[in-house]
């Protein structure tokens, strides 16, 4: 294929990858803990067969340009497996499949397929950083008597993986390098020069040297920096409040009296960034209470979260959000939503949020318009703190995908771990205590340090530890200091 035609194909393919979110720019926490301005997720290719076929064909062409000689192909688990499968079928090349773990029964194979000792196998990978995953696969194949001299990667991150593999006797051929990908996307107007510069600086600063553990940047973004990259206006607002008030404390108030709730909030308002309520347990709810709640949010600079846990079909969820006694959309900045019904529940709430922006003076006094005219959004419940909950890892992953597709309404997650590497969302953890581990009713507690420093979440949600304390103000101050100290210590790691 002529060079110009090949480059045009790669420019188009680069645009395809960006459009399906296989390459994303922003601020992402990688598995290693590094903060990266770019994230590659070629796992999404399985849902885009046309793009997958293009990527696989380019891998085939790269192998041929590099004059790689091979009798079979083997994809590095898991992302490269569909690439190797597509290539095998399209070009009639035998495929082998490396198991992540050897079978403990039957033949106890580490590699599936018809293995011919002494034959040559080509390793296929989606993205190479240090080359570690490729070499691990090479070693398994070599133990089976196969000869491996070449590997093909779709994207070389240019972080010394090619050089490290060369020292192991493996020649790495690539379809694209990060430099080429950035150039194609910038020339297409997809990204700007500033984004290109940030990624290039990151790549240069995070190199892997043979025989030496890489000295990687582990800088954690501050709340102020997170506000700058947040997707939703309410997420920006919340991070800004956390930064300005030096608090990551959300208080969960399960009191049943309007008077008691408002008094407690007035007392502890200076120490919190948000209040979480369950309005359906409030025995004397009124519009006046909702207005006073909004006014306190303005006075003390905190947001209001109604923990409604919407989990019905879209039409019903809309009625629950806008109607009935509570008319939640009119006073709650944020609501919680289960992913169980699918994206329809999020879309249904998003479609009616504008009602909150166009309230008449009959509903809310003019002096309170500012509090209630704030944006509306939701937090997806990705994990729960109760023992034996049924939210599986697949459920959590689906919740993250749902958030990515609805960034204009999803602000972040209720979770017990940082469930995504995307810095544009906020991650809030319930069930936080300074010492208690369980309440006897299957609630499991975590300390502020565990939540923020160990699990990487942004905010701590505290309930009974504050509103049932002998001195609620002192308790709130203790949690506020503990949570923010954990955050400051995280910044120093």
What does 410-457 look like in DSSP terms, one character per residue? Answer: EEEEE-SS---SBTTSEEEE--B-SS--B-SSSBB-B-HHIIIIIS--
Is position 84 within any domain? yes
The per-residue pLDDT string of the chain (493 residues; one tens digit each, 9 = 90 and over) reads 565 567 889 999 999 999 999 999 887 766 555 678 899 999 999 999 999 999 999 999 999 999 999 999 999 998 999 999 999 999 999 999 998 655 444 456 789 999 999 999 999 999 999 898 999 999 999 999 999 999 999 999 999 899 999 988 999 999 999 999 999 999 999 898 888 988 998 888 887 765 544 444 446 899 999 999 999 999 999 999 999 999 999 999 999 999 999 999 999 999 999 999 999 999 999 999 999 999 999 999 999 999 999 999 989 999 999 999 999 999 999 999 999 899 999 999 998 876 555 543 344 444 344 444 468 999 999 987 666 667 777 888 889 999 999 999 999 999 988 888 789 999 999 989 887 555 444 546 789 998 998 888 999 999 999 999 999 999 999 999 999 999 999 888 6
**What is the total count of domains within the chain?**
2
Boundary of a domain, candidates 177, 205, 233:
205
- Both 190 and 229 in a single domain? no
Which CATH number is 243's domain given?
3.20.20.70
Distance between CA atoms of residues 186 and 471, nearest Å? 57
Distance between CA atoms of residues 452 and 292, nearest Å? 32
Is position 135 within any domain? yes
Give yes or no: 309 in active site.
yes
- Both 183 and 264 in a single domain? no
Is position 461 within any domain? yes
- Both 191 and 64 in a single domain? yes
The conformation of residue 219, written as its DSSP 8-state character, comes to P
As a dihedral over the C-alpha atoms of residue 374, residue 380, residue 385, residue 389, rounded to 10 degrees, the angle is 150
- Both 95 and 229 in a single domain? no
Mean pLDDT of the chain: 87
Is position 344 within any domain? yes
- Both 437 and 377 in a single domain? yes
Which of 9, 16, 267, 312 is flagged as catalytic? 312
Give yes or no: 312 in active site.
yes
Distance between CA atoms of residues 104 and 101, nearest Å? 9
- Is residue 86 within 8 Å of 52, Cβ to Cβ? yes
Q: What are the CA-CA distances from residue 296 to residues 228, 264, 266 (Å)? A: 26, 11, 7
Which CATH number is 29's domain given?
3.40.50.2020
- Both 18 and 141 in a single domain? yes
Q: Whole-structure pTM over 0.85, yes or no?
A: no
Show the domain range for 89: 3-205
Angle of helix 287-300 versus helix 258-268 axis, rounded to 10: 0
Boundary of a domain, candidates 146, 176, 205:
205
Is position 210 within any domain? no
pLDDT digits 0-9 by tens, 298-332: 999 999 999 999 999 989 999 999 999 999 999 99
- Helix (H) / strand (E) containing 54: helix 49-65
What is the widest separation between alpha-carbon atoms in the chain?
Answer: 83
Relative to beta strand 111-112, strand 95-98 is antiparallel
pLDDT digits 0-9 by tens, 35-52: 788 999 999 999 999 999
- Both 304 and 385 in a single domain? yes
The conformation of residue 212, written as its DSSP 8-state character, comes to B
- Both 236 and 194 in a single domain? no
Instruction: Show Cβ contacts of residue 413 under 8 Å, excluding neighbours closer than 6 positions.
Output: 379, 380, 381, 382, 383, 399, 400, 403, 419, 420, 425, 426, 427, 428
Distance between CA atoms of residues 111 and 77, nearest Å? 11
- Both 263 and 231 in a single domain? yes
Tell the residue number behind the tokens 């192991």, with chain if given.
168
Which of 309, 357, 387, 397 is flagged as catalytic? 309
Is position 215 within any domain? no
Q: What are the CA-CA distances from residue 289 to residues 16, 260, 319 (Å)? A: 51, 11, 21
Strand ordering across the sheet containing 171-177: 111-112, 95-98, 72-75, 121-128, 150-156, 171-177
The pLDDT score that the predictor gives to residue 369 is 44
pLDDT digits 0-9 by tens, 213-226: 444 444 689 999 99
- Both 174 and 248 in a single domain? no
The conformation of residue 369, written as its DSSP 8-state character, comes to H
């Amino acid at each position: 294929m002529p060079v110009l035609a090949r480059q045009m194909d790669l420019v188009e393919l680069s645009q395809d990858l960006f459009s399906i979110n296989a390459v994303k720019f922003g601020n992402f926490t990688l598995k290693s803990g590094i903060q990266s301005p770019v994230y590659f997720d070629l796992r999404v290719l399985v849902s885009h067969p046309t793009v997958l076929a293009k990527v696989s064909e380019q891998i085939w062409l790269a192998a041929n340009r590099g004059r790689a000689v091979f009798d079979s192909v083997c994809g590095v688990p898991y992302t490269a497996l569909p690439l190797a499968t597509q290539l095998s079928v399209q070009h009639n090349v035998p495929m082998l499949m490396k198991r992540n773990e050897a079978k403990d029964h039957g033949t106890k194979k580490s590699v599936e397929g018809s293995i011919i000792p002494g034959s040559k196998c080509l390793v296929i990978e989606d993205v190479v950083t240090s080359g570690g995953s490729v070499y691990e696969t090479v070693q398994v194949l070599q133990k089976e008597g196969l000869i491996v001299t070449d590997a093909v990667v779709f994207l070389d991150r240019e972080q010394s993986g090619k050089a490290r593999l060369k020292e192991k006797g493996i020649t790495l051929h690539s379809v694209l390098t990060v430099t080429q990908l950035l150039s194609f996307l910038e020339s297409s107007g997809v990204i700007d020069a500033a984004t290109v510069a940030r990624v290039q600086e990151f790549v240069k600063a995070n190199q892997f040297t043979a025989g030496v553990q890489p000295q990687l940047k582990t800088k954690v973004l501050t709340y102020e920096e997170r506000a700058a990259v947040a997707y939703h206006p309410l997420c920006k607002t919340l991070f800004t409040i956390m930064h300005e008030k030096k608090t990551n404390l959300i208080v969960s108030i399960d009191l049943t009296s309007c008077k008691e709730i408002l008094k407690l909030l007035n007392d502890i308002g200076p120490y919190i960034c948000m209040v979480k309520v369950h309005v359906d347990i409030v025995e004397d709810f009124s519009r006046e209470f909702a207005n006073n709640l909004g006014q306190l949010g303005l006075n003390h600079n905190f947001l209001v979260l109604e923990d409604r846990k919407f989990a019905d079909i879209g039409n019903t969820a809309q009625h629950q959000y806008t109607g009935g006694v509570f008319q939640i959309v009119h006073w709650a900045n944020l609501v919680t939503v289960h992913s169980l019904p699918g994206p329809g529940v999020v879309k249904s709430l998003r479609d009616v949020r504008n009602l909150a922006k166009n309230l008449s003076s009959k509903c809310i006094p003019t002096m309170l318009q500012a509090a209630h005219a704030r944006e509306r959004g939701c937090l997806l419940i990705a994990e729960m703190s109760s023992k034996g909950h049924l939210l599986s890892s697949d459920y959590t992953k689906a919740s993250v995908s749902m958030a990515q597709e609805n960034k204009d309404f999803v602000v972040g997650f209720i979770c017990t771990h940082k469930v995504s590497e995307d810095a544009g969302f906020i991650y809030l953890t319930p069930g936080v205590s300074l010492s208690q581990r369980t309440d006897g009713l299957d609630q499991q507690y975590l300390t502020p340090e565990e939540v923020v420093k160990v699990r990487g979440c942004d905010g701590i949600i505290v309930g009974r530890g504050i509103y049932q304390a002998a001195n609620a103000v002192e308790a709130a101050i203790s949690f506020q200091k503990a949570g923010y100290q954990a955050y400051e210590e995280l910044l120093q790691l």
